[in-house]
Structure 1
Amino acid sequence: MIHAKLQTGEKSGTYVVSEPVTGDELLEIAQRIARRRLAKGRSLSCPSSAYQALQTQLLGKDHEVFGVVYLDTKHRILGVEELFRGTIDGATIHPREVLKEALRRQAAAVILVHNHPSGHLEPSVADERITERLRQALELIDVRLIDHIIVSAEGYTSLAERGGL
């Protein structure tokens, strides 16, 4: 059992694997750790902390996935949801669904996230357009768009860090 192989290390945030593991088991361990980092009530303090948790969940997908991290007023996680699935190079995003879920969760802020299966980290024109549409729509219901993070095997791009919000 993988759970028995993974133990908490002496230093905070470290882990010890007590037995040899396969690549698949290692990925499963990484996904389990990522889910803990996105658990309800955890605080996301910067784009890199969000990226680290989100990248593991989105890597290896051969299609685009668009998700939202819903946050309270202190940027603690209320929930994380994959809202839309697309093709290898795009996904259709419906702002109405993003807003409906933000209201249902009583979110004060959100972080948008999607993957680029190609590995390319540059936001597309479509990425920039939907970010602006969602920012404007969320503003109408007093929900702040903190960031839109694009993840890939090559790293991440934060539209907030690039001044795109």
Structure 2
Amino acid sequence: MLLPHDLAAGRLFMPLGRLASEVAAVAYLDAAHGLIGMRHVAGARSWLHFPIRSIVRDALSLDARGVVMAHNHPSGHAEPSAADLSFTRRLALCLDAMDIHLLDHLVIAADRITSLRAEGVL
């Protein structure tokens, strides 16, 4: 479920829900939450490897103040996996150490979106 302020992020990432393999996308934001950069990383049908250090490196190089991440579940189930939850918590800690905020991590499947912030993970 998305909160009203997450609707713009949901629209930005919604196309991921139609993909047949896992893809992650990260939006890097300035202090006013304006978009200053994005990165997409493709995986396989049911797995994805996106090193946290790559996200932190990109955020630092763009002087980002906020990050919104999304990835799809081609299975059609928008519920976050245990690996999704663990990754999100580790990413938030690493970004926070650099004074960058993980604003949300969205899990997208078909036309459904689960916000890990709304779920209380962040």
Normalized against structure 2, the TM-score is what?
Answer: 0.91
In structure 1, give the amino acid aligned to 2:22. E
Identity between Structure 1 and Structure 2 (%): 35
- How big is the shift at 1:59? 3.3
The one-letter code of the counterpart of 2:32 is K
Detail structure 1 runs of 4+ shifted over 6 Å in the superposition: none
Give me the whole-angstrom Cα distance separating, in 1, the residues matched to 2:72 and 2:7.
Answer: 15
1:96 maps to which of 35, 53, 72: 53
CA displacement, residues 7-31 of structure 1 (integer Å, 9 cap, x when unaligned): xxxxxxxxxxxxxxxxxxxxxxxxx
Deviation at 1:85, TM superposition (A): 1.7
Amino acid at match of 1:69: A
Q: Counterpart of 2:60 in 1: which secondary structure?
A: helix
* Alpha-carbon distance in structure 2 between the residues aligned to 1:53 and 1:143: 20
- What do residues 26-81 of structure 1 show as CA deviations (whole Å, max 9, x unaligned)? xxxxxxxxxxxxxxxxxxx821221122112x133211111111011111111121
TM-score by length of structure 1 reads 0.69
Counterparts of 1:118 and 1:88, CA distance in 2: 9
Amino acid of the structure 2 residue aligned with 1:66: A
Higher RCO by CA contacts (8 Å cutoff, separation 6 or greater): 2
Q: Does 1:69 align with 2:27?
A: yes
In 2: Cα distance, 1:154 partner to 1:75 partner: 25
* Correspondence for 1:41: none
Question: Which residue of 94, 114, 117 maps to 1:160?
Answer: 117
| 1:125 equivalent in alignment to 2:90 | no
Question: How many Å separate the matches in 2 of 1:127 and 1:134?
Answer: 10
